Structure 1
Amino acid sequence: MNHENYIAVDWGSTHLRAWHVQQNEIKNQLQVAMGVTRLGSTNAAEVFAQYIAPWRDALDVPVVMAGMIGSEAGWKSIPYVSCPVSLVSLAQHLCPVGEQIWIVPGLKVEEADVSNVMRGEETQLLGASQLSPSSWYVMPGTHCKWVQMNEGQVVHFETVMTGELHHLLMTHSLLGAGLPQQESDEAAFEQGVQKGLQSPSILPRLFETRAAWVLNSLPRASVSDFLSGLLIGAEVAAQCHAWQPSSVTLVGNQSLTTRYQQALSRAGIGVQCCDGDAAFLQGVRSIIYAGQ
C-alpha cells in the first residue's frame, strides 16, 4: 500500500465519512447522510463510485473502510474477529472488495453467557492505543463501548445503548410526549448525573423524570439534558462498579466526551481524552503502514 496517498472511510449506519490523505495532509474530506441504512435503491459500490472514486486518480490509491459497511447491510458481510485479539493484527484480516479497496473486520466477544460485537470502533481503538495508551477505553455514542485492553490486546468489551435509549425515550415514549423544543441546560444535566450516579438501578427513575416535569419541578425544556445526565450517570456508576477502572480514556467527539468526563470525574475516575476522528485516521494509517 502507498502510505503517502490513501483514503480512510468511516461508513456507519447513518453517515458516510471519508478522508483523502496525501503526505500526511488531508486533501479531501466529506460527510454525507448515506450510511448503510439509508442507501435506498442504490448499493454501496454505487455510492462509493459517486463520492469516493473521483478522489482516486489511479487505482493504486488504497482505500481502507471500517464500520457497518462490513455488515450484512453494507458492501459485504465481513466475519468478526474473536477477542482477545491484538489490534495490530487487524491488517492481516482485511477483506478486499475491489482493486486496492479493503474493509476492516469488526470484533466479537462470544462466550457461554456473553455476546457482543463492534464495527468501526476497532479501528478507532487501534489509533487511540497509539495516541493515548490506556487499559480502559470508553467510546461514547449511540451505543457506547467500554473496552478493556492489555498490552495492545482487546481483552473484553461491553456495549451500553445509552444514546439510543435517550432517543427512544424522548421521541417514542410517554416521558417525552408533549414537551416543547428542548434547550441546553447544564444545571439539569448535572442534576441528572448526580441522580444517575446515586441510583444506577434506573428503571424507577425514568418515570420519576416524567412526573418531575408534569409537577413542574423540572423545566419542560430541560428534560432532554436531565435525562441525558441521568442515563450517563447510571451507565458510569454501573460500569465502574462492575469493572473498577482507576482511569479511562474517552474516545469520541468533544460534545459527548465532555459529558462523560463530567460523570466519570464525579465518580472519582481519572480521565484523559482522545479525539475520535484523530484516532480513526491514526488507526487507518497504522493499517496502511502494516501493509507495506
Structure 2
Amino acid sequence: MTSRYIAIDWGSTNLRAWLYEGDRCLESRQSEAGVTRLNGKSPQAVLAEVTENWREGTTPVVMAGMVGSNVGWKMAPYLPVPAHFDAIGQQLTSVGDNIWIIPGLCVSRDDNHNVMRGEETQLLGARTLSPSSVYVMPGTHCKWVQADTQQIHDFRTVMTGELHHLLLRHSLVGAGLPEQETSPEAFATGLERGLASPAVLPQLFEVRASHVLGNLPREQVSEFLSGLLIGAEVATLGEKFAGQQAITLVAGSSLAARYQQAFRAFGREAAVIEGDVAFQAGIRSIAHAVAN
C-alpha cells in the first residue's frame, strides 16, 4: 500500500470520506448517499463519485459502518467478543480492488445479544487516545463497552436517543407540543429524577401529565425527557460497570456535556474524546495495518 489512502464512514443516511497521506488529511467530503439512500445507484457508483480524482491506480479504501451490514454493500461478518483490538484490522472484507470493509462486533449469550458497526473503529482510536476500562458512546443507540488495553470484553446498547425521538415525535408524550427550547434547568431536573428512579417506564406518562397540568413548561418537555432518559441510563449501566474505574466518553461536544453532567451527578468522572477524532484515528490504524 502507498502512503495515500481513503477512509470512509458510511452509515445508513450519510457518508463521510477523508483522503489521507500518512497521518495528514488532504481533503474531506460528505454525501447524503447513506446505504439506505442510494436512490437506485450502486455502492460502487456512489464510491466513485465521492472519491473522484482521489484514487491513483489502486489507492486503498477502508470503510466502516452500515456499509458492511445486510442492507449495505456486502455483509462483513461480526467478530464475537471477547475480541482483540488487533483482530479488527486483520479480518477485513474485500469488495473490490483494494477496497475493504471493517467488521462489526457482536455478543451472543443468554444474558446479552448485541451488535455494533462503526463504533468498533471509534474504539480503536479511543483506546490509543484515551485508554479506559469503560467506553461510553452516546448517540441514537448508546454503546457501553468494557475493555482493557488488549481486547474488548463485553458491550451493551441502550436506545436512549431513539427512545427520546420516538416519545417526543410519535407518542402521546409529545403530542401537540410547541417548538422546544433549550433549558439546562429542565434537563437537570429530569436528570435528577432519572438517576434517583431509573425504572422509567412508570414515569413516562407522568412527563405528559406534568406539562398538561402546568408543572412542566410545554417548551421544555424535550429537555426534561432527555435528562430523565440519560439519568436512567447512567444509573442503570453505571451500577453494572461500577467496578470499572476509568471511563471515556466518545461523542460530540453536545452529547458529551450531557453525559459528563450525568456522570458527575452519579459520582463519577469521565474523560471525553470527540467521536470523529476517535474514528479517524481508528481507521488510520487499520489502514496502516493493511500497509504492513
> Any idea what SS the aligned residue of 1:178 has?
coil
The equivalent of 1:213 in structure 2 is 211
C-alpha distance in 1, partners of 2:32/2:136?
25
Unaligned runs of 5+ in 2: none
The equivalent of 2:122 in structure 1 is 124
The total of aligned residue pairs comes to 290
Is this contact kept in 2: 1:196–1:234, CA < 8 A? yes
The equivalent of 1:190 in structure 2 is 188
The equivalent of 2:26 in structure 1 is 27
Unaligned runs of 5+ in 1: none
2:174 to 157, 173, 176: 176
Q: How does 1:20-59 map to 2 (within 5 A)?
A: 20-56=19-55, 58-59=56-57
In the alignment, does 2:161 pair up with 1:163?
A: yes
In the superposition, the TM-score normalised over structure 1's length comes to: 0.96
Deviation of 1:43 (Å): 2.5
Q: Once structures 1 and 2 are overlaid, which stretch shifts more, 183-192 or 154-163? A: 183-192
Deviation sequence 1:194-242 (CA, Å, 0-9, x none): 1100010001111111111111111111111111111000000000112
Is this contact kept in 2: 1:140–1:257, CA < 8 A? yes
The equivalent of 2:264 in structure 1 is 265
The equivalent of 1:18 in structure 2 is 17
Is this contact kept in 2: 1:127–1:284, CA < 8 A? yes
In the alignment, does 2:43 pair up with 1:61?
A: no
Counterpart code for 1:134? S
Q: How does 1:223-234 map to 2 (within 5 A)?
A: 223-234=221-232
C-alpha distance in 1, partners of 2:232/2:51?
41
C-alpha distance in 1, partners of 2:52/2:97?
11
The equivalent of 1:249 in structure 2 is 248
Deviation sequence 1:118-153 (CA, Å, 0-9, x none): 001001100100111111000001000000002320
Is this contact kept in 2: 1:59–1:100, CA < 8 A? no
In the superposition, the TM-score normalised over structure 2's length comes to: 0.96
Counterpart code for 1:263? A
The equivalent of 1:8 in structure 2 is 7
C-alpha distance in 2, partners of 1:145/1:272?
16
C-alpha distance in 2, partners of 1:131/1:46?
35
Counterpart code for 2:250? V
The equivalent of 2:71 in structure 1 is 73
C-alpha distance in 2, partners of 1:148/1:289?
25
Q: Once structures 1 and 2 are overlaid, which stretch shifts more, 208-217 or 40-49? A: 40-49
C-alpha distance in 2, partners of 1:230/1:274?
24
Q: Once structures 1 and 2 are overlaid, which stretch shifts more, 238-247 or 80-89? A: 238-247
> Any idea what SS the aligned residue of 1:96 has?
strand
Identity percentage of aligned residues:
54
Runs of 4+ that moved beyond 4 A = none
Q: Once structures 1 and 2 are overlaid, which stretch shifts more, 36-45 or 73-82? A: 36-45
